[in-house]
Amino acid sequence: MAATDTPRDLPAGPPPLQPPTPRPRPAGAPKSTRARTADEDVVVDCAVYVDGRRQAPVTPEEALEAAVAQGGFVWLGLYEPTDEELTAIGDRYGLHPLAVEDAVYAHQRPKLEHYDDALFMVLKTATYVEHEQLTATSEVVDTGEVMVFLGSHYVITVRHGTHSGLTSLRARLEEQRDLLCLGPSAVLYAVADLVVDSFVEVAEAVTDDVDELESSVFSPQRTDDIGRLYQLKRELMSLRKAVSPLELPLQKLAERQIDVVPEAMRSYFRDVQDHAIRVRDQVSALDELLSSILQASLARSTMADNQDMRKISAYAGIIAVPTAIAGIYGMNFDYMPELRWRYGYFLVLLVIAAVCVLLYRGFKRNGWL
């Protein structure tokens, strides 16, 4: 809502309409269990913005009242709040209990939920993990989550994970007064744009790893890259799960009429959607390329094994000649005239050598040796 809208009275408490009982948490999706130090606060930053300008500091308890009174909005940034902490904030800001539950428990997929006059959006974040050399156990993509509560006079960002640029984003956004004048949805756009830009950076870094593996697979040296290829493909899947589901929520923000998203903000979300589609296509192309490289590596490994078997078979065939001749003359029959011939020994050696040379040349010419 624009800063010039008429202020409305603060709600005295939670919405009078009681929601259904929260759904049970699926097995394997644990709550956030981050242990904060004694001097660490769940609130990263809290500020009220009026006409695109940051106002005097206020406490989170007084921020919403101050924002409504001045016709602005409050931006409250949280880092991995506990169930009790976020429930208390949810009661003060009138957040839907189901959205609060999703924000406390991590491991959500990107989505956009509409609760009466408020929005709740989940975005997956991703960062590239630097490594000297890609191995079969390397962690390449590290993921986290950012949840955004959006109302007429507030925007609450909840971050899960050790990586985020929301602090620097706030500083950059405060320099763009015209954008902040569009209301809380400008913050949602900036967060979504930051997340998608991080996807672009991760995809570019992963492309370098794919190029390195491709060069290794098709190098003259014999290498075993199957484990590294499979690991990179698994890591790329994490990025794909963060990028692909984001297209539909951004499409809703860009095309649908939503009360808390002004008409002027739709073009911004449409731009973010275009970037997300390009990243999705890039990730899909990388995944297909990795599949092709994996197949090529398996085929090359099979060809190498076949080549080894050819060499073994060729040398076995050559060795079979002296073995057979030695076996025949080793029977020591009485009526074998060659046994008592003066030059029989030298002739047998010459025959063995000649046959072995002929076999070697034949195998060499046919590519077996």
Please report, for the domain that includes residue 318, its CATH number.
1.20.58.340
For helices 226-243 and 266-329, give the axis angle rounded to 10 degrees: 160
**Same-domain check for residues 89 and 235:** yes
Residue 40: predicted pLDDT: 56
Q: Domain holding 293: CATH number?
A: 3.30.460.20
Residue 198: predicted pLDDT: 92
| 27 located within any domain | no
**Same-domain check for residues 287 and 269:** yes
**Same-domain check for residues 348 and 244:** no
Residue 42: predicted pLDDT: 85
| 8 located within any domain | no
What is the pairing mode between strands 73-79 and 154-160? parallel
Residue 317: predicted pLDDT: 86
Residue 53: predicted pLDDT: 93
**Tokens, residue 8:** 């409305």
| 33 located within any domain | no
Residue 8: predicted pLDDT: 40
The dihedrals phi and psi of 262, each to the nearest 5 degrees, come to: -65, 160
Residue 11: predicted pLDDT: 42
Domain termination site, one of 301, 321, 352: 301
Residue 221: predicted pLDDT: 78
**Same-domain check for residues 185 and 109:** yes
| 21 located within any domain | no
Domain termination site, one of 301, 335, 353: 301
- Give how many domains the chain has, as a whole number: 2
**Same-domain check for residues 179 and 241:** yes
**Same-domain check for residues 192 and 326:** no
Domain termination site, one of 301, 324, 345: 301
Residue 155: predicted pLDDT: 95
**Same-domain check for residues 75 and 137:** yes
**Same-domain check for residues 253 and 147:** yes
Domain that holds residue 318: 310-365
Residue 38: predicted pLDDT: 46
pLDDT truncated to tens, each residue of the chain (369 aa)? 334 443 344 344 434 333 334 444 444 443 444 444 445 578 899 999 999 999 998 888 899 999 999 999 999 999 989 899 999 999 999 999 999 999 988 778 899 999 888 999 999 999 999 888 888 888 899 988 999 999 999 999 999 887 668 888 999 999 999 999 999 999 999 999 999 999 999 999 999 999 988 888 888 777 778 888 889 999 999 899 999 999 999 999 999 888 889 999 999 999 999 999 999 999 999 999 999 888 888 887 777 777 778 888 888 888 888 888 888 877 777 777 777 777 777 888 888 898 888 888 888 888 787
| 76 located within any domain | yes
| 4 located within any domain | no
**Same-domain check for residues 224 and 292:** yes
- The closest of 176, 195, 198, 196 to 186, measured between CA atoms, is 176
Q: DSSP alpha helices (H): ranges in the chain? A: 60-70, 83-93, 97-104, 166-174, 177-180, 184-217, 226-243, 247-255, 266-329, 344-365
**Same-domain check for residues 50 and 130:** yes
**Same-domain check for residues 349 and 212:** no
**Same-domain check for residues 274 and 355:** no
